[in-house]
Amino acid sequence: MATLKEFTFTAAVAVAASARQVAYAAAFATYAPNGFGVFANLAAYQAALVAADNAFRDAVQTAATANVISDAVVGGVNPGIMYGNGTASILT
């Protein structure tokens, strides 16, 4: 059974993930009609994806800090993204 802090953290991660997916969709909707072959469009698309990932990571870290959730849990939320401890959490 989860504590209130764990539940709050899980809810915050869900909201952050939803926001990231909306940002991904918006970036794709902007990028796709303007042409996949234009390098400048690709750079803008990649920048939008990186910004969405950074916003997600920051939201998760903020929720973890506010709810006293350990880095081990935070690293498992999105494997492959480096968190505060400087090590990648990659599942193979």
51-72 pLDDT, tens digit per residue, is 998 899 889 889 888 888 877 7
- Angstrom distance (rounded) from CA 33 to CA 27: 11
Buried residues in 58-81 as b, exposed as e (16+ CB within 10 A): ebbbebbeebebeeeebbebbeeb
Size of the chain, expressed as the number of residues it contains: 92
Whether 52 contacts 78, CB under 8 Å: no
Q: What pTM value is reported for the model?
A: 0.74
Boundaries of every domain in the chain:
4-72
The ranges of the chain with pLDDT < 70 are 1-2, 35-37, 75-92
Q: What residue has token string 């709810």? A: 67
Residue 83 backbone phi and psi in degrees, to 5: -110, -170
